[in-house]
């Protein structure tokens, strides 16, 4: 999937799905209460083969009015899950709209686990 931004005077700018995923991944990891993106056996194999860690944790599609994201993550034990999820949504939307000028329609946060501190 390529997201195109049209710049009338200079031509087209294509933003790859990988670039968007990287920005989302870095943004999510900086949020207090987020333990990390989804980790499972499949993501370990994907990482071993050289693809990004976030390949299966961030899914996106282009809707009529903008980008629709699904983010799968783990939350640290002791944090309020709804508060962390709202912060994730706000941070991702702000980062993508500021850095890429991409319209974001919705961000669906899927909490797939709770991680205890070691």
For the stretch 40-83, pLDDT in tens is 545 555 556 555 555 578 888 888 888 999 999 999 999 999 99
Which residues does 86 contact at the CB level (< 8 Å), separation at least 6? none
Q: What is the pTM of this model?
A: 0.78
Domain span holding position 95: 16-115
CATH of the domain at 111: 3.30.70.1350
Q: How many structural domains does the chain have?
A: 1
Locus of tokens 């790859």: 16
Tens of pLDDT along 4-23? 554 455 667 788 888 899 99
- Tell me whether strands 2-7 and 11-16 are parallel, antiparallel or unpaired: antiparallel
d(CA 31, CA 62): 25
């Amino acid at each position: 999937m390529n997201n195109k931004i049209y710049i009338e005077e200079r031509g087209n700018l294509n933003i790859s799905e990988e670039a968007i995923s990287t920005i989302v991944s870095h943004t999510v990891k900086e949020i207090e209460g987020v333990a990390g993106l989804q980790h499972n056996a499949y993501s370990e194999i994907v990482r071993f083969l050289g693809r990004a860690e976030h390949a299966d944790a961030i899914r996106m599609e282009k809707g009529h009015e903008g980008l629709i994201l699904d983010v799968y993550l783990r939350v640290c034990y002791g944090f309020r899950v709804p508060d962390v999820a709202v912060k994730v949504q706000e941070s991702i939307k702000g980062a993508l709209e500021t850095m890429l000028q991409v319209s974001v329609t919705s961000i669906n946060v899927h909490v797939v686990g709770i991680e205890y501190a070691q």
